[in-house]
Amino acid sequence: MLNKKFTIFIAFLSLSVAGSFIKIPALVGSVAFDSMPALAAGALMSPLAGMAVGCIGHLMSAGLSGFPLGPLHLLIAVQMGLLSFSFGILYRRNFKMAAILVFIAGNGIAAPLCFWPVLGKAAVLAFIPGLVVAAVLNGVAAQLLIPRLRPVFDRSNVRINHENKS
């Protein structure tokens, strides 16, 4: 069973890397479809799996675009992990709309505001529109994908938790 769960985790991570090649036009080249698999992993496997896919997936996406923000991508990876974790927690507790809204607000608005002291007002305000569009697209794609994958995960017993299946 552990091999099956690890294989599914690697599949989500691979989808995150593949999604990083689908760029969303923004000021920074690392804005892409890399967070949708992390959201799906958080909802379907476990919030911790979503967190790991979010962190590693962002680092791979940023690496493929040349780390345009340098070491700040480490902090962004932590932010992506926390956002994927919170999405997974909310989605699994059946707060699906809250999950997507928290992800969009966190990824599109709150996350870039952390860089205000480092990058300045102009850069942060320039990042926000592209990040909001990316967060909406990733969140909507995850919301469309998760219900279609859930029956497969329930049948295969890959969910990493101890909750009752209903």
How far apart (Å, rounded) are the C-alpha atoms in residues 84 and 117? 25
Strand partners for 23: 32
pLDDT of residue 119: 92
Q: Domain residue spans in the chain? A: 2-156
pLDDT of residue 37: 97
pLDDT of residue 32: 84
Q: How far is CA 54 from CA 1, 61, 112, in A?
A: 23, 10, 16
pLDDT of residue 154: 79
Tokens standing for 132? 């909001």
In this predicted model, what pLDDT tens digit does every residue of 84-134 receive, in sequence order?
Answer: 999 999 999 999 999 999 999 999 999 999 999 999 999 999 999 999 999
Which CATH code for domain 2-156?
1.10.1760.20
Summarize the confidence of residues 20-33 as an average pLDDT: 82
Tokens standing for 48? 């911790």
Q: Evaluate whether 82 touches 89 at the Cβ level (below 8 Å).
A: no
pLDDT of residue 165: 47
In this predicted model, what pLDDT tens digit does every residue of 29-50 receive, in sequence order?
Answer: 768 889 999 999 999 999 999 9
pTM to 2 decimal places = 0.90
Of the pLDDT bands very low, low, confident and very high (cuts 50, 70, 90), residue 159 is: low
Estimate to the nearest angstrom the gap between the alpha carbon of 146 and the chain centroid. 13
Of the pLDDT bands very low, low, confident and very high (cuts 50, 70, 90), residue 151 is: confident
DSSP 8-state secondary structure symbol assigned to residue 164: P
Residue/partner pairs of 97-106 with CB below 8 Å, 24 or more apart: 99/43, 100/139, 100/140, 100/142, 100/143, 103/35, 103/39, 103/135, 103/138, 103/139, 104/132, 104/135, 104/136, 104/139, 106/79, 106/82
pLDDT of residue 25: 83
Tokens standing for 150? 């859930």
